[in-house]
Structure 1
Amino acid sequence: MTGSSRDRTSNGPVAGRLAGKIAVVTGAGGGQGQAAAILFAQAGAIVVASDLNQAGVEATTRIARERGLQIYMSAVDAADEASVGPWIDDAAKAHGGLDILYNNAANTHFAPFGEMTLHQWRETMRLELDIVFIPSRAIWRHLVARGGGAIINIASVSGMRATEFIGAAAHATGKSGVIGFTRQLALEGAPHWIRANSISPGPIVAPPTEAMLAQSEEFAKNFNGWPMMSRTGRPLDIAYAGLFLASDEASFITGANLAVDGGWSTKGGYTAH
């Protein structure tokens, strides 16, 4: 295979693909959420985005300003109903409606099952399920009023199959729930022309995984060998999938779970590249 693996990260023209759309993105202060917010804005959307971390809010705001993009960042906890409701309502009022929700915000606890505490379990359910339910519930009436829209929920391949080495019992349960929740939203949204789809990332190199890669040689060996392709994923790989699902190009796609994983979910073991 010629060229570096980084040269093969998802790319392509985006101008105009979300022209006239108002997109809400949670967890946009870094990593996959930041990549999606920037790509959506480059595609012509006005992006209303949030992150719990103030430093992340400032980082994405700075990038948007430098690139001349319309991204309006706020420090909002996407798992806090009292904060999310007014934030969503204010965005709809300011921009005359909303078209897209990209539920990226999430967090989890990893631990071997025999060592996992009930607190870790419950906190993961809040930060992987409540954090998707609350923004979806808040935006729902605005999408109905708009005459339709798109919801994209970030799940995980861990919600589709068991995962070695990372103690993912809570994570797997939360992300399986995201996939199931998405299918039900698709069914209930269809009469309103609301499409709902999920994306299940595989091994993506981003801040949460970088720490684990640095700590464990065994984890790194498996992480790098999970995909069929001789590279792991990058945040842009997920963002481009989200851009497609958010756009009118995907107008007949709803209730789907798209694995963006280099083929990992369709094979067993790891590949020695």
Structure 2
Amino acid sequence: MEEGIHQLSVTIEHASLRNAGFLKPNPYVEISIDSKSTRKTDFLKNTNAPKWNERFTVIVSANSVLHFRVLDHSSFRKDSLLGQQTVYLANILEHYNGVLENLELSMDLLTDGSSGGSSSKGSHHHHHNHEPRQPVKTGELVTVLNGLKIDMRTVVNGGGDVSGAGMSHVNGNGLEAASMAGCSSSSSSNSRSSILNGGIRARMRLRGAANGSGQLQPGPSNSAQHSPSFNNGSSAAAAPGVPADCISISSAAANFNEL
């Protein structure tokens, strides 16, 4: 497993937080890798639009889980959670062929809804009956992942179900998952083909991504609002019968539709 350990640069850029009352928070970001390695930014005073621009180098594997929490620093009480989001690295690596260079992640910050009073259990949304409560969006966080290059063939051979199913999304499992779970929901969000998992958007920034970006960027953009994201040409070409949007989030649908 030693060869499966990699360095990843994570830059916490900025956030926009929903205004909740007349007192502005003192926000900072806490990032944890696989629930153990935790890093924190400095807290900024009295702002709903914090700009940290702090870069961390973290150790990850292809199947690492990155958990981002934005908290309100307080000198008098326990720091309170403003919002959080979870990023599954395997899902991103699959769509970018294992190369993350200047990849911007814009993620919705969510709370579980319990702070919103009766909205947590009282109001069941008819299409989410199986969920105990609806998450509430409290803001957005922008981060940049950089400097990671993984040979995805090694991940497929030894990476278990998540990566294996993800890499076979042009044939077999992934296509079935796309047609069963992905298409109806993804076509409704047709202008957001870069959505990974409810509320995470990714796009490759062009700056400094010249080397190796050929296979990461799609061909000539067929629609101005599509970010250069997950519909890499190979999967779309290999499965002409399935819309590109379905392919682009097939792995996300397979991984997250049970949550």
Alignment TM class, shorter chain as reference: under 0.3
Q: Which has the larger radius of gyration?
A: 2
* TM-score normalised to structure 2 length: 0.24
* Structure with the bigger percentage of strand: 2
* Structure with the bigger percentage of helix: 1
* TM-score normalised to structure 1 length: 0.24
